Amino acid sequence: MSDALRTPFSGRAGAALKDAFLQEALKIATTKFIDLRKESFSGFPQGEALRDRARAIKEATLQHLDVHLERLADHVERLGGTVHWATTAEEARGIVLRLCRDRGVRTAVKSKSMATEEIDLNEALEHAGVTPIETDLGEYIIQLAHEKPSHIIAPAIHKTKGQVAELFSRELRGEFPADPEVLTAVARKALREKFLQADMGITGANFAVADTGTVVLVTNEGNGRMVTSLPRIHVALMGVEKVIPSMSDLVVFLAILARSATGQKLSSYTTLVRGPRRAGELEGPEEFHLVLLDNGRSRQIASTLREALYCLRCGACLNVCPVYRQIGGHAYGYTYPGPIGILLTAMLKGNASVRELAHASSLCGACKDVCPVRIDIPRMLVELRGHLDREKIAPWTERVVFKAFRRLLLSPTAFRLSATVGRWLQRPFVRQGRLRGLPLLFGRWTRTRDLPPVAARTFREQWKDLR
């Protein structure tokens, strides 16, 4: 049935709902992550207090963000690293490309970084003749498949093992069974060579400690360690909001980050990188570059979306979101999916970009419940919707309906009258005491659900008998 009100987002969402593979994968994966997180926090009584502290540290840091960034930069430079300042995605790409050109970089191995996805770095590198190689297994899979990640921490969650086996067999020219152990070993072997040969390692940063100039990577596979120790150049791309003041702050976040993301007490590897290799070291990059990325973040410091800057990119909100659980990450259409993704997209691309996405939420609040830094996502979604009204981004047809609704609510007479009118208009649609097959906007409801009819006597009409 065609729907004149169908939008690109609702189209993508609809397609996702019809994808049986995806539905099954989402169900299993999100349920697993939810259970793991729940179990981890249930045996961890300090968890709630740590979440409060983590939130406070993020807020306190934002209140002096400029100072902390300057201290971070000073320390990185003192250590022999170079700091670059990228206001836009384009600038960030330019910085990395220039480095590649000046240093004769032909291949770059990458550890998982949402920031590099955000700025579309891989495409830019390829156009410049540099081969970027994703080494996080999930990212490696989707790179081979020419797809985008569908989840912040489990990028290939939408792929079955059969699909991965097929993919590897085709791209790596072999015959591999649909066995995760075998496929992992295949990836290990294929990528080990790349680590050893690559000219540059590119990472993001989960945190950067201002006091010491340390960049922190939280990973499980070991590729984060590889790319920061084997190639001769290490480039870390980091959103400015990732800076934290001290090592004492760092351990607060470490205590809750992995628990929130995967239910682990700590991920397999937490790697603290303090500049390029030191004089006494046999291994490590000769050069360390920290690229600080703004790309719309600073504009949010004094906005209603400020809290979104606390985000640790753990993915917990995705896993519990009733919408994400039904449609997966690709349907959102942007780098960051799920509840926080809507806010980040507004932050990075402007309010108009979330004209539809801002409504991709039932405001149930499950996200806020699990966020390690207690970001009040539902409140910010409502604020965002407020912006869509005030900036007249919401469609005028919708605004007309809501303004009319308001008038109805301000006048009891009009309200009473509308019930009477409704009672009369609904008559052709009442079947066995329910409304079915309604036209227009109401049809969107009755396509899949019954609606109760306007009561023969409203409560107000019955009140006189009750009093």
Partner 1 sequence: MTGRAEFIERIRREVARTPGLFGASTAPRPAHPATAALTVRRELAERWPEALDRFRVEFERVAGVFHRVPDLDAVPAVIGGLARERGARSLVTWDPAALGFDAASALARDGLEVVAARAGEEDEAARLRHREQAARAQIGVTGADFVLAETGTLILLSGSGRPRSTSLLPDVHVAVFGRDRLLETLEQVGVMLEALHADPDRAMSGAMINFITGPSRTADIELTLTRGVHGPKEVHAVFVEAP
Partner 2 sequence: MAAAAVRASLMITCLGDVLFPEVGVAMVRLLRRLGVEVDFPEGQTCCGMPLFNSGYHHDAAQVAARTVKLFERAEHVVVPSGSCAWMVRSEYPGLLKHDPVLRAAADSLARRTRELSQFIVEVLGVTTIESPFEGKVTYHDSCHLLRGLGESAAPRTLLRGVSGVELVELPGADECCGFGGSFSVRLPEVSASILDKKLANVESTGARCLVACDAGCLMQMGGGLTRRGSAVKAVHLAQVLSGEGPA
Contacts with partner 2, residue ranges (CB under 8 A): 10, 13-14, 17, 322-323, 325-327, 358-366, 368-369, 382-390, 394, 398-399, 402-403, 405-406, 408-412, 415, 419, 422, 434, 441-442, 444-445, 447-455, 457-463, 466-467
**Binding of residue 172 to partner 1 (CB under 8 A):** no
Footprint on residues 382-411 left by partner 1 (CB under 8 A): none
Q: How far is the CB of 112 from partner 1 (least distance, A)?
A: 10
Give the chain's length. Answer: 467
Residue 158 burial (CB count, 10 A): 22
- For partner 1, the binding residue among 13, 16, 73, 237 (CB under 8 A) is 73
Q: Tell me the β-bridge partners of 202.
A: 110, 235
**Binding of residue 226 to partner 1 (CB under 8 A):** yes
- For partner 1, the binding residue among 156, 205, 312, 358 (CB under 8 A) is 156
337 versus 357: smaller Cβ distance to partner 1: 337
Find which of partner 2, partner 1, none residue 278 binds, CB within 5 to 8 Å per kind: partner 1
Q: How far is the CB of 245 from partner 1 (least distance, A)?
A: 5
CA distances from 320 to 37, 386, 427, 446, 454 (A): 10, 25, 40, 27, 35
- For partner 1, the binding residue among 17, 79, 382, 393 (CB under 8 A) is 79
Q: How far is the CB of 381 from partner 2 (least distance, A)?
A: 9
Q: How many helices (H) and strands (E) does the chain have?
A: 21, 12
Amino acid at 253: F
CA–CA distance, 272 with 54 (Å, rounded to integer) = 19
Find which of partner 1, partner 2, none residue 59 binds, CB within 5 to 8 Å per kind: partner 1
Report whether 10 contacts 356 (CB < 8 A): yes
CA–CA distance, 168 with 143 (Å, rounded to integer) = 11
Three-state DSSP state, 448: coil
Piece of 301-309, 324-332, 385-393, 451-459 that binds partner 1 (CB under 8 A): 301-309
Residue 322 burial (CB count, 10 A): 13
Find which of partner 1, partner 2, none residue 260 binds, CB within 5 to 8 Å per kind: none
Q: How far is the CB of 387 from partner 2 (least distance, A)?
A: 7
Burial class (CB in 10 A: 0-12, 13-18, 19+), 182: middle
Find which of partner 1, partner 2, none residue 225 binds, CB within 5 to 8 Å per kind: partner 1
Q: How far is the CB of 146 from partner 1 (least distance, A)?
A: 17
91 versus 356: smaller Cβ distance to partner 1: 91
226 versus 354: smaller Cβ distance to partner 1: 226
Q: Tell me the β-bridge partners of 236.
A: 203, 290
Residues in CB range of 325: below 8 A, 6 or more apart: 26, 27, 30, 319
Find which of partner 1, partner 2, none residue 457 binds, CB within 5 to 8 Å per kind: partner 2
CA–CA distance, 99 with 118 (Å, rounded to integer) = 19
Amino acid at 288: F
